[in-house]
Amino acid sequence: MPNKDFKIWFRRQPGPVTLGLVLVLVISTLFLFLTKYRLAEQLVFWHDWTARPWTLFTYPLVSTALDGAYMLIGFLSCLYVLNWMGTELELDLGRARFGAFLAAMIALPALFLWMAGAMQHYSIEAYGPWLPTAGLAMAWAARNPSASIRVWGVVPITAPFLMVCIAVGVAASAFIGIPNGNPVVALFGCFHLAVAWAFATNRLPFQYSTEGVQQNRTVRAKTERLSGGRGQVQYDDAYYDEVRRREKERAEQERLRKLLEGPFKDDL
């Protein structure tokens, strides 16, 4: 059956949570455009969000990407980064932990902006997938500090510089998005980036682990190249040394496990 085949195909994808989000964003954008954004007000995050608490998680579904060429290019670029870096994070963290982290990256920026608006007496609204995607990109860069990317295969950007660009871009967007600008709102707009960085580097003030699970190394290797040859992720020798070290540790643990299980299996 086609439906069953699709479910099997979907579950075999390297990042099903990320892929599902990308598909939902595309479908919601098309739906809202075709219906002339009639339901957009019920999905956008507003300063009075407590009357519509679901908007804390639905605001990324609202996008005006189809209203202009530049907005469409920006939206497609956002989806591209989301699919690429989100998939790598999902492979590293596992589906459950990544899903929880993704939910936090959706809710936290809206809450931080709402708090800033309440403090500064501004009416805050948030929509589109850019803030959550920025949080995922920050976490990816923090987990891959030795990586570098080439934007469109031309401009090389290291992970630390990428983090700076993300923070500056989000702060500028939050500043410009408020009439006459407001530095407090711009600052609060970046707080979720700090949370993403702290989470990815195990610096949050409670016990947890972001140690990679690497569900599929072959697929992970494939995601290191951007589609169409527009760019390439590059890692230095330190990164590959760390990968080889972890592989040796896992191989040794597996050897010891089999060695210990051997006598017990013979008794069964």
Q: Which residue has the higher pLDDT, 45 or 250?
A: 45
* Contacting residues for 107 by C-beta, under 8 A, at least 6 apart: 56, 57
Q: Give the C-alpha separation, 44 to 166, whole Å.
A: 23
267 in any annotated domain: no
The CATH number covering residue 91 comes to: 1.20.1540.10
Q: How many domains in the chain?
A: 1
Residue 243's pLDDT is what?
A: 72
6 in any annotated domain: no
Cβ–Cβ < 8 Å for 231, 152: yes
* Contacting residues for 115 by C-beta, under 8 A, at least 6 apart: 188
265 in any annotated domain: no
HSE-up of 22 (CA within 13 Å, CB side)? 19
Containing structural domain, residue 159: 12-235
257 in any annotated domain: no
Residue 219's pLDDT is what?
A: 44
64 in any annotated domain: yes
Cβ–Cβ < 8 Å for 95, 30: no
88-108: average pLDDT: 94
Tokens 């051997």, located at residue? 262
1 in any annotated domain: no
Residue 264's pLDDT is what?
A: 52
Task: Using DSSP, state whether 191 is helix, strand or coil.
Answer: helix
262 in any annotated domain: no
Residue 247's pLDDT is what?
A: 76
Question: Which pLDDT tens digit goes with each residue over 48-96?
Answer: 999 999 999 999 999 999 999 999 999 999 999 999 999 999 998 989 9
HSE-up of 167 (CA within 13 Å, CB side)? 17
143-162: average pLDDT: 85
91-118: average pLDDT: 94
163 in any annotated domain: yes
Task: Using DSSP, state whether 224 is helix, strand or coil.
Answer: coil
